[in-house]
Amino acid sequence: MDKTANYSGKTIDRYVIAELVGTGTFGEVYKAFDSKLSRHVAIKATTPGTDGDDKKLIIREARIHARAEHAHIVPVYDVFENEHTVFIVMRLVTGENLDQMISRQDTPLRLSDAWHIMHQILWGMDYAHSKGIVHLDLKPGNIRITHCGEALIMDFGIAAILGEQDLMKERLQGTPAFMAPEIIESMNADARSDIYSLGLIMYKMITGHHPFEHARSLAEMLGCHKEVIPAKPSTHVSSIPEKLDDVIIKALEKNSRSRYHSCREFAMAMEHAISGTSLNGTSDMELRWDPRVAVYLNARIQLVETGELISAETVNLSVSGARLRVAIYIAVGSDIYLELYLPEGDHYIKVAATATVLWADGSPGMENVETGISLNEIDKQDRYHISMLVSERLLSGDEAELPGDDTVIFS
């Protein structure tokens, strides 16, 4: 069979295929009409001759993609197999991809326009990460911009479920120009790998340049990711704020431990760098616990899957998550029950929440692993107790409770 199937003009299941509009990781993408729901859709079809293993990966892609249901992620409507071909039905997004937008401009995107796009992408990926999903191939070509300025993340073809990456090790791919150093080194990826790619995307949007565009070969490009410190964005565009320089360079750190640990934290840092306000401004005090205080609390974790109990200690807290020091390694993507013990007089108040493990600086067998979690559900009264404790520590001005320069704030 030919490498292309040309389904144009055919009716498959309830879908009337109109025309080929592009290609994806494992196949072709068509514009089609859903005769049952009377709407236009996009359909990704495997190329002829796709073997059984690739079909399994495509179905896996659809399941992962559908799990990341967010306003800034292209939704998956259906997946089915017909005559040895797998079809993924998705929203039809009109407009252009971010790569096309950048390429057709004579100058870099205005900072406000770039931030408008990146803000949407970051919140979409923050949601995906909270569901234990890493994209692994974030690049301008996989970001679709609609005519009304809506940014949508596409193509989860090589995405992985955190903690299950052994399934993908032999197939781990990506785009060299936007690949994190740890992926090149064949180490496990997590949310911070996507943050590296997002840092590169923001860099290119506001400068019109890739920081390693001088690379003349694949080997040189991969070497740059691992060893070359990128020039500050303001080197290319002098009007870029110095604080934004620092934020983007931090996202591009070679060691993932030195980057932002969540898209939420990256988004907040970028927003404040662009707006020129302090991270500890009054408006933020109303929305989240102040991150200036490193509150150390005894904690206990129970794994949802096994019921195993693990001792832990908080390093810092925010309204959406926490950084913990945990007695043993907990697989990234694990769902947990978290108990915090807040001192009150001569006794303790127990605070409980459900949470998801987003990252872990360590590996199985290690002790005292630092771990980042996202708080999913917490009672309003418990939230009040924590916010009061943090405020009290902040007002006391106890320097011993303040994080040092090396403390990474998880927000």
Q: What is the pLDDT of residues 375-398, one digit of tens each?
A: 788 887 887 777 777 667 655 544
What pLDDT shows up at residue 393? 65
Which tens digits make up the pLDDT trace of 54-83?
A: 677 778 778 888 887 888 999 889 888 888
Round to whole Å and give the CA distance between 71 and 142. Answer: 16
What pLDDT shows up at residue 369? 81
- Provide the 3-class DSSP secondary structure of residue 284: helix
The H or E element spanning position 151 is strand 151-153
Least confident of 79-88, 227-236, 282-291, 314-323: 282-291
**Average pLDDT of the residues in 286-307:** 67
Instruction: Indicate the CATH number for domain 288-401.
Output: 2.40.10.220
Catalytic site positions: 137
Least confident of 161-165, 354-358, 398-402: 398-402
What pLDDT shows up at residue 282? 30
Instruction: Give me 331's structure tokens.
Output: 């697989």
Is the model more confident about 333 or about 173? 333
CA dist list (Å): 127 to 16, 242, 359: 33, 29, 14
User: What does the angle CA 35 – CA 143 – CA 111 come to, to the nearest 5 degrees?
Assistant: 135
Which tens digits make up the pLDDT trace of 116-127?
A: 999 999 989 988
Which tens digits make up the pLDDT trace of 181-235?
A: 998 987 778 889 999 999 999 999 999 999 999 999 999 999 999 999 999 999 9
Is the model more confident about 399 or about 349? 349
What pLDDT shows up at residue 232? 97
Pairing state of beta strands 335-344 and 321-328? unpaired
CB contact set of 187 (below 8 Å; sequence gap of 6+): none
Q: Give the chain's length.
A: 411
Average pLDDT, the chain: 81
79, 59 Cβ separation under 8 angstroms:
yes
Q: What is the DSSP letter of 184?
A: H
Beta bridge partners of 46: 27
Pairing state of beta strands 76-82 and 133-134? unpaired
Confidence of residue 167 (pLDDT cuts 50, 70, 90): very low
The fraction of the chain above a pLDDT of 90, given in percent, is 35
Q: Tell whether the model's pLDDT for residue 9 goes beyond 60.
A: yes
Round to whole Å and give the CA distance between 169 and 186. Answer: 8
Selected from 3.40.50.720, 1.10.10.10, 3.30.200.20, 3.30.9.100, the CATH number assigned to the domain covering 11-91 reads: 3.30.200.20
What pLDDT shows up at residue 373? 85
Confidence of residue 371 (pLDDT cuts 50, 70, 90): confident
Which tens digits make up the pLDDT trace of 127-163?
A: 888 777 888 899 999 999 988 888 999 888 676 665 5
What pLDDT shows up at residue 179? 92
- Provide the 3-class DSSP secondary structure of residue 115: helix
- Give this prediction's pTM: 0.68
Round to whole Å and give the CA distance between 173 and 157. Answer: 10
Per-domain residue ranges for the chain?
Answer: 11-91, 96-277, 288-401
Is the model more confident about 369 or about 49? 369
Round to whole Å and give the CA distance between 214 and 210. Answer: 9
Round to whole Å and give the CA distance between 50 and 52. Answer: 7
Round to whole Å and give the CA distance between 84 and 50. Answer: 9
Torsion of CA 148, 153, 155, 160, to 10 degrees: -170
What pLDDT shows up at residue 180? 94
What pLDDT shows up at residue 298? 84
Least confident of 94-103, 287-296, 365-374: 287-296
What pLDDT shows up at residue 405? 37
Which tens digits make up the pLDDT trace of 23-63?
A: 765 678 899 999 999 999 999 888 765 666 667 777 877 88
Is the model more confident about 387 or about 242? 242
CB contact set of 315 (below 8 Å; sequence gap of 6+): 294, 296, 322, 323, 324, 325, 370, 407
Instruction: Indicate the CATH number for domain 96-277.
Output: 1.10.510.10
Q: Tell whether the model's pLDDT for residue 336 goes beyond 70.
A: yes
Is the model more confident about 295 or about 223? 223
The H or E element spanning position 91 is strand 85-91
Round to whole Å and give the CA distance between 303 and 296. Answer: 21
Round to whole Å and give the CA distance between 46 and 5. Answer: 9
Please report, as a single letter, which amino acid is at residue 344.
E
What pLDDT shows up at residue 21? 85
